[in-house]
Amino acid sequence: MKRWWLLLLPFVLGHGAPLRVMLDFYPNPNHVPLYVAQGLGLFASAGIEVELSAPADPSDPAKLAAARAVDLALTPQMNYLIARGAGLPLVAVGALIEGSLGGLLALAGSGIVGLDELRGKRIGYALEPLEPVLWQTMLRTAGLAPNEYELVYVGMNTLFALLARRVDAIGAFRNYEALAVEDFGYRPVFFPQEEYGIPATYELVVVAHPALLRERPEEVRGFLHALARAIEFTRDRPDAALALFEAAVPELAGEDLTRRSFEATLPFYAAGARHDDATRWEAMQAFLVAHGLMPRAYPSEELFTTDLLP
């Protein structure tokens, strides 16, 4: 019997409500594969309509997915685990960025070439309570006690606090702030967090309310399959992928920083949209529990599912 019904699947699925997908931040090169999937019609080919939106506050996406105000949300694995520990009903279904992007950033010429040279210095951060834990952990590996430096809350303007010399180092991303300082004539000194005591992490996972997976599993499956295809396209044809992103986000088009940020992000897109390294989940949970950011660890099967991945 011919499976003629497969030809009708996109039309059947396509009659539902759009999948509302919230980014973790405003559109940036982290999100290139999502815009590739839109631009190439991969979501449409999977029989789904996808609405991408940016949050008013970077802490909102996971909360909105838990409240079912959006269907899928991008959020850092650490933030997701903290949200689960706080009781939010969520499950991770895939990943967009599979490696750590964060760390500490200083400026060359400041005399800081090693973490131990942050002794007596001021370190700016934007997000509580997670960032202080991360930077204290990193500095501990260099032999610095918390009373040997000062953590300074500077809000979201961390880069400008560094450039204005209000602080000596900041929490930063290797694919953005560490590149942006070059546009101001400085050379970055970047310390990757995974090299200084922070467990490897999935920088961006895709999360949903568990009820969504019961109600609309084929649409979520279609989304993840299209995302995996878009990641593969992005890795294989980066110039074409960047062009699709810039067409969708014209305010970033033609900017040298956009190109350099994309090139720095390219190795980190999650092949197959996979997020299923159980040892990574266990290590990150142990870290967060040890630092009081989660009340307990959860079994892997309660945190993520691979049922809908390609």
Q: Which two tokens stand for residue 215?
A: 């109600």
Which residue type is seen at 197?
G
Q: Is the pTM of this model over 0.95?
A: no
pLDDT at 1: 33
Provide the percentage of residues in the chain whose pLDDT is more than 90: 93
Q: Please check whether residue 289 is in contact with residue 295, taking contact to mean a CB–CB distance below 8 angstroms.
A: yes
Q: Please check whether residue 91 is in contact with residue 300, taking contact to mean a CB–CB distance below 8 angstroms.
A: no
Question: In 3D, which of 177, 180, 173, 176 has the Cα closest to residue 194?
Answer: 173
Average pLDDT rounded to a whole number, residues 266-292: 98
Spatial distance between the Cα atoms of 170 and 134, rounded to a whole number of angstroms: 12
Residue 17 backbone phi and psi in degrees, to 5: -70, 150
**pLDDT tens track for 61-88:** 999 999 999 999 999 999 999 999 999 9
What element of type H or E holds 110? Answer: none
pLDDT at 11 over 80: no
pLDDT at 8 over 50: no
Q: Which of 5-9, 32-36, 56-60, 266-270 has the lowest mean pLDDT?
A: 5-9
Calculate the alpha carbon distances from 116 to 112, 140, 178, 196, 197 in Å: 8, 9, 19, 12, 14
**pLDDT tens track for 102-120:** 999 999 989 999 999 999 9
Q: Is 57 exposed, middle or buried (0-12, 13-18, 19+ CB in 10 A)?
A: exposed
pLDDT at 16: 73
Alpha-carbon dihedral sign for residues 154, 157, 163, 164: negative
> Domains in the chain, please, with CATH?
5-99+201-303 (3.40.190.10), 102-195 (3.40.190.10)
Mean pLDDT over each residue of the chain, to the nearest integer: 94
pLDDT at 2 over 80: no
First to last CA, the chain: 25
